[in-house]
Each structure stands twice: as structure tokens, then as C-alpha cells.
Amino acid sequence: MSDSKCDAEPLEAYKRPKPCRAGRQVIFAFAEKIALALNLKTGDDLEKLVAQRLPGKIENLPGSKKQEKASITVKSGGDFIIRLFSSLFPLPLQRRMSVAHELGHFFLHSRYGEEELEAFCDAEDEDEAAEKEASEFARAFLVPTALLNKAVDCFGRDSIQVAAHFMVPESVARQRMVDIGRVPESVARQRMVDIGRR
């Protein structure tokens, strides 16, 4: 038996996240409001943000028996633990997006820690509504509309440069430009095909 503070209760003690069903635009606006309240700046270290401005911590683990990519456990009182499995997130941009995704569960689905929950990001869950909401939160949290508009004015529709500016994966920058209407979905899809041919 470990005496680590990060040991989670048995999974049965926690609820899976339930979608808030607020709608994409509401989630985007909420994520941007949270980023503003936390004084999040472009490129800020999210691991420091979690440790210094939120009641959480991040565990970096070597791998997962269940093959989760990441998870969050929110305990009573609002304390939370985000677990990142390093073998599945070797790149800093992927890790950054994953932390923001798990924060989406914290803010949207546990309501700032009012409800205990356990969320796992794995291949089987990626189409679930709560997972989509957490991903929508993460995109707007890391790439807010006003700053994205300025970046697109500066870099044009070059999703690689926009991604580098915001320190997110290129696919996130591309989708976020679609989210705010700066790039049509068809152009974003073609860009993905073009990248795949390289």
C-alpha cells in the first residue's frame, strides 16, 4: 500500500463525466473566460499553472495498463490529479493539449471541483460528448478568439505558423481557425490531405 497523496480511490468511487450540453460557442466563450481569469498567456507552462493557480497537480507516468492517454481524478473539495502517460505523449505540444483537455473536464464536468469524477481519455471515449466538450474547451482555452484573429491577420491561413505561435499541434490550430470562421472546413480538410502527402 502506497502512502502517496496521488493515489486515487477505487474507480467505482468516482463518476464518469457527463456532458454539460452547453453548445460549442458557449463552451468556447467559457474556456476563454477561464483562461482570462487565470491570466493565461500564450505559451504559458500549463503544469506550473495547475500547480500554482489551481488546486491540482500533474503526475507523469511511464505507461498505462488500460492504455489511457491521460486521465483526471477530481476529489471532494476540488483537488484534482491529472495523469499523463509519457510514452503516449512524448511531444510537449501533445502534453500541453492533453493538460488543457483534462482541465476542460475539471471546469465543465466537475463544475470547478463541486462533483467528484474520473475521466479517461482513450480511443474508445474519443467520440463521446463529454470528450468532445473537453476538446472544444482545450482548443479555446489555448487559442482564444481575439488572439487567434490577430495571429491569422499576421500569418494568414498558415496553420503551421499559427500552431507554433500558440504552442499547440497544427491540427488544433487548423480546427480552431475553422471554429471561429477564419478558414472554411473544406480548406482545412484539404490542408490535412496536403500535409499527409508530404
89-127 pLDDT, tens digit per residue, is: 667 888 899 999 999 999 999 998 888 998 876 545 444
- Asked whether residue 7 is assigned to any structural domain, the reply reads no
Q: Are residues 28 and 111 in the same domain?
A: yes
Cβ of 3: how many Cβ atoms within 10 Å? Answer: 5
Residues 51 and 86 in one domain: yes
Q: What is the pLDDT of residue 13?
A: 56
Q: Would 8 be classed as within a structural domain?
A: no
Claim to verify: residue 122 and residue 132 sit in the same structural domain = yes
Residues 128 and 56 placed together within one structural domain of the fold: yes
Tell me how many domains the chain contains. Answer: 2
Residues 150 and 127 in one domain: no
73 in the same domain as 109: yes
Q: Which residues pair with 72 in a beta bridge?
A: 82, 119
CB 179 within 8 A of CB 140: yes
- Rounded to whole angstroms, the Cα distance separating 163 from 145 reads 14
Per-residue pLDDT at 164 exceeds 70? yes
Helix (H, G, I), strand (E, B) or coil at 167: coil
pLDDT at residue number 95: 87
Q: Are residues 18 and 42 in the same domain?
A: yes
Q: Are residues 106 and 150 in the same domain?
A: no
Quote the domain boundaries for residue 170. 144-198
Q: Write down which residue in 121, 142, 163 finishes a domain.
A: 142
For residues 170 and 158, what is the distance between their CA atoms, to the nearest angstrom? 9
Tell me the pLDDT band of 136, cut-offs 50, 70 and 90. very high
For residue 6, name the pLDDT band (cuts at 50, 70, 90): very low
**Domain match, 101 and 32 both:** yes
Helix (H, G, I), strand (E, B) or coil at 80: strand
The confidence score (pLDDT) of residue 123 equals 45
Compute CA distances 179 → 62, 95, 145, 173, whole Å: 34, 22, 9, 10
pLDDT at 183 over 80: yes
Do 118 and 178 fall within a single domain?
no
CATH of the domain at 51: 1.10.10
Using DSSP, state whether 73 is helix, strand or coil. Answer: strand
CA 88 and chain centroid, separation: 15
